Structure 1
């Protein structure tokens, strides 16, 4: 990448699913996968971009999912929040090992482990060039980490919410099943709703739409895709107001 490359965005919110950390494993964290992601994250911060991350917990929770059958929904959701804290700690540790400062902020109180989410402090960390990892979703059951990403993105004044997936954008059909499926380069929120594309859960999508906070869906497993998104290249699918 050219040293003179200029980012199209100065502050972004990256939504990572827990499953993205699994690699080819059935559950848990694949060390090779997380290190590759961290290299891409650091490459973005080196462009001068302020980066916050919301991370899911599906990869950890998947390992105990069988025991959660029949469990009270709120209890299961709190277990999921704890899984996101575990992922956030692992991600922050991997970032720190690359000599970049990361801070984990939790929406639920676990003071001995991570600091609580406080918006002014999060903004201060971002302005100082630290990577901020938001854990525990919104801190409330019945809300997904998609909603947490939309909420935190709006709170920190992010210019873009990046939804990292295993597919390089939103397609007219499932690209794994239909070879004729084509990728949307851009969509309005209204078009995405009419087409029922399921980009985020309804609460998160509505929040982004109301706040006019664009969403970019891209592949986290495609080498260099994150940098290309940040540089404003035609990578993934942009959903905008």
Structure 2
């Protein structure tokens, strides 16, 4: 679940009496610090993949050529596709960026409707772009998202998603033509190894985002408690 750091901060400020109206009241701050510290320690971050130097770039093939060869298909709902008025879960571009479940509803009978399959690669291109492999079946795709469907016997979707993400990030949120992205020529077994590494990196990033609010509040409690005499260092702590 994605937590709202700003809302949590405001709630704590109200509870503690902090903010512009007066000084921070520190009742319970030691308990809050201990609870948040325990929470973080109980949910360690995933281990990053072990990576080593490689021999250099592999000859790429444009994604467009893979589409022409029937290895991939690319689809996208129209910009005017309705994101209300139906009963089918619908992924918005923000849902893709946050890696969360569909937040809207739409109609599968609407003109231009695109239905997602598990394993499809979703590319949400905006100022805060994101590329993810979808694990859901039967949901609809909202505007602003391109869908790349692979033949899994020839392309690993996690590998493709990682390559596309690198290409999208290289343009810094600017426009990009997916059809012109160069896909390294890598055999399927090796693609799966690359795909697993990309997946580990994504899991690490997602875990960091989920813990961000907890870390922010932990640091705030620590600074306040130490400076106001409500907390003290344990010098022999491991």
Q: Indicate the TM-score class for this superposition, using the shorter chain for normalisation.
A: under 0.3
- Which structure carries more strand by proportion? 1
Larger radius of gyration: 2
When normalised by structure 2's length, the TM-score is 0.20
When normalised by structure 1's length, the TM-score is 0.20
